[in-house]
């Protein structure tokens, strides 16, 4: 466990809340202190911390790794920020992109052509954890003259088959 200032502040807040609650039950300060000291880690790790994880949209960030990208499609969202910010794909050919990301999962629809656009490759990145997340993330790679011009993400509503 890494002890950070945020962790210490949250533990103190939980301790104070538990202390105030236990103080309403029994007015003996030494007993209130001991019970609060014992209950604080339990309440923090089994109540407070899980609630923070459910309602926040934090997720781990990883460096882009071509092997991990292809082996774990459900965890691609962890590498997407590094992939976009480092411009790893910008200027690469379609063959290079296919080597690093694998074959595209689908092509974007071009309304002007009334067909799929072979210059816009899409990859599903999995579902970012969160209690109220109703969208899936998608990586879109745009090609101009056979080389990558932009890499961007967008969200799409999740649909489930009946």
- The DSSP line for 109-149 is EETTTTEEEEEEEEEE------TT--EEEEEEEEEETTEEE
In a structure prediction context, what are the per-residue pLDDT tens digits for the chain, which is 162 residues long?
A: 677 888 888 888 888 988 888 888 888 888 888 888 888 888 888 888 888 877 776 677 889 999 999 999 988 989 988 999 998 899 999 999 999 999 999 999 888 888 998 999 999 998 887 777 788 889 999 999 999 999 999 998 888 777
Based on the fold, state whether residues 106 and 127 are members of the same structural domain. Answer: yes
Based on the fold, state whether residues 150 and 85 are members of the same structural domain. Answer: yes
Based on the fold, state whether residues 74 and 130 are members of the same structural domain. Answer: yes
Would the pTM count as exceeding 0.75? no
- The last residue of a domain, from among 14, 35, 55: 55
Based on the fold, state whether residues 78 and 31 are members of the same structural domain. Answer: no
What does the radius of gyration of the chain's CA atoms come to, in whole angstroms? 24
Q: What's the pLDDT at 57?
A: 67
Based on the fold, state whether residues 36 and 83 are members of the same structural domain. Answer: no
Q: What's the pLDDT at 1?
A: 65
Q: How many residues are there in the chain?
A: 162
Q: Tens of pLDDT along 98-126?
A: 999 999 999 998 888 889 989 999 999 98
Based on the fold, state whether residues 75 and 41 are members of the same structural domain. Answer: no
- What's the domain range around 29? 5-55
Pairwise CA distance, residues 158 & 153, whole Å: 15
In a domain? residue 85: yes
In a domain? residue 60: no
CATH code: domain of residue 153: 3.30.1450
Number of domains in the chain: 2
Host H or E run for residue 67: helix 66-71
In a domain? residue 16: yes
Q: Residue 45 CB: number of other CB atoms within 10 A?
A: 11
CA-based angle 97:100:104, to the nearest 5?
Answer: 55
Residue 158, classed as helix, strand or coil, is coil
């Amino acid at each position: 466990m890494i002890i950070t200032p945020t962790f210490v502040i949250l533990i103190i807040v939980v301790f104070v809340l538990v202390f105030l609650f236990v103080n309403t039950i029994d007015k003996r300060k030494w007993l209130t202190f001991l019970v609060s000291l014992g209950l604080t880690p339990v309440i923090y790790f089994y109540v407070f911390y899980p609630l923070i994880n459910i309602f926040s949209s934090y997720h781990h960030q990883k460096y882009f790794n071509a092997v991990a990208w292809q082996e774990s499609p459900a965890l691609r969202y962890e590498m997407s920020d590094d992939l976009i910010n480092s411009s790893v794909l910008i200027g690469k050919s379609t063959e290079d992109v296919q080597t690093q990301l694998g074959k595209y999962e689908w092509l974007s629809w071009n309304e002007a052509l009334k067909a799929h656009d072979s210059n816009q490759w899409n990859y599903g990145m999995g579902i970012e954890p969160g209690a109220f997340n109703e969208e899936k993330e998608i990586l879109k790679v745009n090609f101009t003259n056979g080389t990558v011009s932009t890499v961007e993400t967008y969200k799409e509503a999740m649909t489930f088959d009946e």
